[in-house]
Amino acid sequence: MAKASGGRLLAERYQLTELRRGGAAEARDLRSGAPVLLDAVPLPELVTPFDQLADATGDAGDASAPDRPETDDARGLALTHAAFAAQAVADHPRLSQVFQVFAEDGYLWVAGEWVPGVPLAQLLEAGPLTPYRAAELAYDLSSGLGAVHRAGLVHGNLTPTTVTVCEDGTALVGGLVVSAAQEALCGGPGTAESGAGVPTALWSPARVRARDARAVIVGAVPERWAPEQLGIVGGAGLPVGPGADAWALGVLLFRAVTGVPPFPEHEVDRLFDAVRTGARPDTRQTGPLRPLLDRLLDQDPARRPTLPQVRAALRQLLQRAPEPLEEPTPFTVLSAPMLPSSARLAVPLPVAARLPAQRTPAEVAERHHHAAPRRGSVLLGPVLVGAIILAVLGTLVLTAMFAR
């Protein structure tokens, strides 16, 4: 593989640095000179798919079923789904842009935009957010997820590591293309159609095996395991649709305002048991977000609010927030080392990111952004009227004096 001065070169274009942001590696695009983020999805050599045709004929466990391929190129399958997802969703200000998807050295790589900001996970390390700050971020995220749903896809990968809080305080959601590739690698009904994202077919032995494969690939991330993704709702099972993203938003909101997830993580069995038993998290500690969270975390996706309903509820909440919104304050981007190395390659930051003032993640977390409703002081009107009256009186006095 070709090498370039300073770091490993991918696709003869992207030069890796030693910096990471969340789960992504920072790199420089040698063609444009711009910084980019690279996500990597491990690719197995071959995968045996559980396709819809076999399920329809009742031969889900028979690899010799008619018209069913015995093996499939996992690289090609994941690459096709990832490329479809990248192209199917229109550009949106609250979605991270994807520039290129390619396979190299046993990984599927997703090259996306780099913006001055920090992952939400890093901000939460400094402590939970206020309910109103979390509501502002959720408003942005629901807007980005809406663009994904309008393209006929399910995002399926809304987590603290895929959300970036930008330097102006707005939230940006990424991870869509990574999710599409991972779901394709899980196999199972629904993945035969490019861009299906999360499988949409009803439950069957094939889909159960696909769920088990997904547990290995995704892990115990509560945001990525809505009840319908476990097959515990609606008898034979419900299709996985936009409601799964509403669940993820609810889990993320709960995590943001409490500092902990509403269900166990890091252990798949404990997470699955908690969701299966219908354990209700204690939302009393979420303050004014409690009514919305109770609906978002409903086991039945049909009872969860739609994203437009979520945005309406968040806007009402922000309009009656007790504290005024502040102007966004720039901050210097924080990056952690990507690989252990004695020689750390420095990536020049854009002018907006090279600022003298350093701010901690906690300070960044409490800033408000311009996307939320603005509220002016209740004294602004009387003050302006008083100023106008004084100006008129002053003019009259001066006129009288000069008239003499």
Tell me if 179 sits within 8 A of 351, measured CB to CB. no
Query: Which one-letter amino acid corresponds to residue 123?
Result: L
In which residue are the tokens 């939302």 written? 283
Query: Which one-letter amino acid corresponds to residue 181?
Result: A
Alpha-carbon span 64 to 56, nearest angstrom: 14
- Tell me which residue of 2, 4, 21 sits closest to 338, measured CA to CA: 21
Tokens at 123, concatenated? 């901000």
- Tell me which residue of 335, 327, 320 sits closest to 35, measured CA to CA: 335
Alpha-carbon span 239 to 352, nearest angstrom: 44
Cα 75–chain centre separation: 24
Tell me if 46 sits within 8 A of 73, measured CB to CB. yes
pTM, two decimals, is 0.74
Query: Which one-letter amino acid corresponds to residue 50?
Result: F
pLDDT at residue number 143 = 97
Give the pLDDT of the chain (404 residues) as one tens digit per residue. 334 445 899 999 999 999 999 889 999 999 999 999 999 999 886 544 333 323 333 333 333 332 333 335 667 888 999 999 999 999 999 999 999 999 999 899 999 999 999 999 999 999 999 999 999 999 999 999 999 999 999 999 999 999 999 999 999 999 999 999 998 888 755 555 544 445 555 667 778 888 899 999 999 999 999 998 887 765 456 778 999 999 999 999 999 999 999 999 989 999 999 998 888 899 999 999 999 999 999 999 999 999 999 999 999 999 998 865 554 444 433 333 322 222 222 222 222 222 223 344 444 444 433 333 333 333 445 555 566 777 767 777 666 666 65
Alpha-carbon span 75 to 288, nearest angstrom: 46
pLDDT at residue number 7 = 81
pLDDT at residue number 158 = 97
pLDDT at residue number 131 = 96
pLDDT at residue number 355 = 26
- Tell me which residue of 374, 339, 272, 311 sits closest to 6, measured CA to CA: 339
pLDDT at residue number 66 = 29
Phi-psi region of 210 (alpha: psi -120 to 50; beta: other; left: phi over 0): alpha
DSSP sequence for 186-229: H--TTTTSTT--S--SPP-HHHHHHHHHHHHHH-S-GGG--HHH
Radius of gyration of the chain (CA): 25
Tell me if 27 sits within 8 A of 14, measured CB to CB. yes
pLDDT at residue number 6 = 56
- Tell me which residue of 375, 301, 306 sits closest to 136, measured CA to CA: 375
Residues contacting 239, CB < 8 A, separation 6+: 200, 201, 202, 228
Q: Is 253 exposed, middle or buried (0-12, 13-18, 19+ CB in 10 A)?
A: buried
Tokens at 285, concatenated? 């500690």
Its CATH class, for the domain covering 3-365, is mainly alpha
Query: Which one-letter amino acid corresponds to residue 331?
Result: F
Q: Please, how many CA atoms are within 13 Å of residue 67, restricted to the half-sphere of its CB?
A: 8
Tell me if 213 sits within 8 A of 105, measured CB to CB. no
Taking CA 40 as the corner, what is the angle to CA 35 and CA 44, rounded to the nearest 5 degrees? 155
1-6: long-range pairs with CB below 8 Å, 24+: 1/104, 1/105, 4/30, 6/345
Residue 188 to residues 54, 208, 221, 242: CA-CA distances in angstroms?
Answer: 10, 8, 20, 19
